[in-house]
Structure 1
Amino acid sequence: MLLVNERAFPFNSGMTLADLVKEQGGDADILLVNGYPATLDTALSDGDRCCLWRRGKVPSAEEMRHLLYARHSPGVQSRLQERVVGIMGLGGLGSLVAIALARMGIGSLLLADYDVVEPTNLNRQQYFVDQIGQKKTSALRDILQRVNPHVSVTIIDRRLVEDDIGVLFQNVHALVECFDDPAMKAAGLRAALHSLPGVFYVCASGLAGYGENNTIRTRRLYPGIYLVGDELSAAAPGQGLMAARVGIAAHQQANQVVRLLLDVENEAG
């Protein structure tokens, strides 16, 4: 048996890659066997893992699902693809959290921000130079479309206030706080405590500079509510927000969301 684009396919003795390409429709021009580039005359062996792809082709929803099943297992992936995650703030943290969750095949993202991409954002945020001046909501949606076009993305293009949070995010399974403004960080936590029962909440504090990696940690504040960061390092002259440390925190936030959605933390959903 072969594994072709992460799906089982019968193996016949003497089969070459050319035979397999013909069986698969004949239009593949990217050919890999067991992770390495191959040519059409490559002889195949039982158990080989083959990737046949047409350059520029976008995977269908079914193809993407099987690719993610192979990496995450069907049990994990089937749960993630049914979940909705909200992200408040699409800067250094939020843009990377969104991309990480899209790569992991989360079902739906609800993204909120009011800002535009500025040149000074590019040192740590996941935008590109040709997106300067665009709304972060639409710019990030475009990026996510390129990462995984089968993730449902809804944008909220407005400046949030505390009373919005409990209304706009009442139907998500998890909410990630990625604000820069300390007042909105506090507002988000209050909303999580009082207006969003049953919604997991992951916030952040203390991730500026280039301090030690291991000082950024994930801590449980309340049932279903977690804080990521060192809780000390605020942005200051000589200690700005930098891509590497912001990235550590963002990936911890994304991973904590996944742990909560998969009930690893044994918290009621």
Structure 2
Amino acid sequence: MSRIPEREDLQRALAARHGRAVQEKFNQATVAICGLGGLGSNIAIALARAGVGRLILTDFDRVDITNLHRQQYKATQLGEFKTEALAANLREIAPYLTIETHTTAITEENFEEILAPADVICEAFDNAEAKAMLVNGVLEKLHTKYLIAASGMAGFGSANSIQTRRITDRFYLCGDGISDVADDIGLVSSRVMICGAHEAHMVLRILSGQFEP
């Protein structure tokens, strides 16, 4: 029979990987993920596996069959809200993770209230206007937060062109900065996952006190 590990056992396993001091920083952190598609769902999975203590998940959409090739959902979850489906999947991975969900669109009117508890905010939208609204809003009104956004991850381009760049002391941008879904065949699972891993890894670097030059 399968058994869910005790919290202490999981913490010991994570501390053995990351070091006790770093793992304690992960445990105490709150990270917000705005958009739970191919980018956001992969960010959430990586952070949950790393032992980040609390995730704020925001998305208004439902799981669709066209999502299954690159997003961290199951065929049995079609039609469910992404917030609910992803929360269920994350609890299977990290049963002691604290999850806060907002099944709504992030707007100029609500982003401050929703994102205020976060130490780090991850932008993971697939709409250019929504990306610009969130980035500009966070930089202007939540300027003490760390923000990680993405630009350029479409097609079969080289994985090595996906990079993380520091724009300001608290703003990082992941992607190739060039590719667009309109220019090629669209989004490919592996390349989207790489960009999501860049965002998640930058979160962990920030939480552990390491920053891009």
TM value normalised by structure 1: 0.77
RMSD over equivalenced CA pairs, Å: 1.3
Structure 1 residues 132 and 266: alpha-carbon distance in aligned structure 2, compared to 1, 3 A threshold = closer
Aligned to 2:115: 169
Superposed displacement of residue 266, structure 1? 8.3
Superposed displacement of residue 147, structure 1? 0.4
Aligned letter for 2:93? V
Superposed displacement of residue 261, structure 1? 1.2
Q: Which one scores higher on RCO, CA 8 angstroms, separation ≥ 6?
A: 2
Q: How far, CA to CA, are the matches of 1:204 and 1:265 in structure 2? A: 17
Per mean C-alpha deviation after superposition, the further-off stretch among 214-223 and 102-111 is 214-223
Q: How far, CA to CA, are the matches of 1:69 and 1:259 in structure 2? A: 16
- Count of matched residue pairs: 213
Superposed displacement of residue 216, structure 1? 0.8
Gaps of 5+ in 1: 1-54
Superposed displacement of residue 56, structure 1? 0.9
Report the structure, 1 or 2, having the larger helix content.
2
Moved >4 Å (runs of 4+): none
Which of 25, 31, 52 is the aligned partner of 1:106?
A: 52
Which of 56, 66, 73 is the aligned partner of 2:19?
A: 73
Q: How far, CA to CA, are the matches of 1:257 and 1:205 in structure 2? A: 17
Q: Secondary structure at the match of 1:203?
A: strand
Aligned to 2:82: 136
Q: How far, CA to CA, are the matches of 2:43 and 2:186 in structure 1? A: 20
Q: Deviations over 1:41-97 (max 9, x none)?
A: xxxxxxxxxxxxxx3100111111111111211111111000000000000000010
Q: Deviations over 1:164-187 (max 9, x none)?
A: 212211121000000011001001
Structure 1 or 2, whichever has the larger Rg, is: 1
Aligned to 1:52: none
Indicate conservation of the 8 Å contact 2:154/2:184, yes or no. no
Q: How far, CA to CA, are the matches of 1:135 and 1:81 in structure 2? A: 27
Aligned letter for 2:170? G
Q: How far, CA to CA, are the matches of 2:187 and 2:93 in structure 1? A: 25
TM value normalised by structure 2: 0.97
Q: Secondary structure at the match of 2:68?
A: helix
Q: How far, CA to CA, are the matches of 1:71 and 1:261 in structure 2? A: 15
Percent of aligned pairs with the same amino acid: 37
Aligned to 1:259: 205
Aligned letter for 1:89? G
Gaps of 5+ in 2: none
Per mean C-alpha deviation after superposition, the further-off stretch among 234-243 and 174-183 is 234-243
Q: How far, CA to CA, are the matches of 1:56 and 1:237 in structure 2? A: 47
Aligned to 2:91: 145
Indicate conservation of the 8 Å contact 1:162/1:184, yes or no. no
Superposed displacement of residue 197, structure 1? 2.3
Q: Secondary structure at the match of 2:147?
A: strand
Per mean C-alpha deviation after superposition, the further-off stretch among 256-265 and 82-91 is 256-265
| Residues 1:202 and 2:148 aligned together | yes
Q: How far, CA to CA, are the matches of 2:198 and 2:169 in structure 1? A: 18
